Chains A and B, each alone.
Chain A
Amino acid sequence: MISRIIHRPSDVGGRASKFFIPLFALVIVAILLAACQQKIPKEALQLSPDSLDRRQLQTRVFDTTDETELISASAALLQDLGFNLDESEVSLGLVVGSKDRDATEAGQVAASLLLAVLIGAAVPWDEKQKIRASVVTRELEGRNGYALRLTMQRIVWNTQEQISRTEPLDEPEIYQEFFGKLSKAVFLEAQEL
């Protein structure tokens, strides 16, 4: 059937282009559908070489024997920083919190509006975000004290309610500020791992 369409003697060019347009559309549909069988990236559950650096950035050691005090101070600090507590399990040394906030950035809005004027279509920009934080304490082996590790991440939604970003928050300043405040709250020095 295909060869008949392509080799028809009269106006070959027109017929061929009529055939290729749906073919193109099909290829695009096939690519889109292939995405519904997405696979987990190979490195997703593999310890990366920089996992040690990240652990150091996110962890501080507190010279105390009172783990519960450390967790409750962390919970209070999370509240101070505007987080709502989602989950806690003191016997495992865990507190989890999250907050929903504005994610609009002036530069991005300006770029979207400019692009919208140029191409004549609405271009979404980032609108809101959910920031999640989990604090985990762990008794140190071979020495006194507890290690406390904070990990943070965020999901960002754009003005069309689509997820535009999912990422860990790895800025050192965030962690330094958190540990500085926690150190003041528990009257203990936050030592590097």
Chain B
Amino acid sequence: MLAMLLAWLVPGAGHLYQGRRFKGVLFLVVVLSIYLTGFVLGGGRVVYWSWKRGEQRWAMACQAGIGIAAVPAAVQSRLLHGGGKAALAGGFMAPPVSLNQPVDESYAQAMIRRTPELTEEDFRRQPRMRLWEFQRDELSLWHHQLGRWFEIGTLYTMIAGMLNMLVIYDAGFGPLGTTSDEERRSKASKKNAGSADNAAKAST
């Protein structure tokens, strides 16, 4: 169980813990490189957690398979939709802000800093509160900025998460049940030996 948990947290860590170094390093390099490639291709915007009605991010169900690399997305979503109305680290892995969604003043300014298309006029200030209501749809802006890279990045990160689910299974239950070449050869040689014995008995 510990190996499976480690394999979920960091791809290949479960195998390294079990002393299966070759497979551990292979999974670490392959799965993480695919995930990071997708993350970079998608401009760092493709991994986020959103279960708001009508804005569910179903890709996250697959991306979550990558473990600790997807955990900040859950934290940021909780922070942005919680009482603070602001995400940490300038919105790293935070979900997009939707139309009329109130955000904290500091987070609104962080959004303006990181998105050249946005100005203070894209927000409506609520009187006597430090909340600003967003007047545009951030997800549409991301699609406009990134184009097809958003989809390609999403695909890469989803596939990395799904591949890591196989890695988790392998860490817990070993290789999937297929016969190896050696097993096939030994079975074939036993069969041949058996048929040779039968032929010898028949001839006597």
Q: Do A and B come from one complex?
A: no
A residues near B, CB below 8 A? Answer: none
B residues near A, CB below 8 A? Answer: none
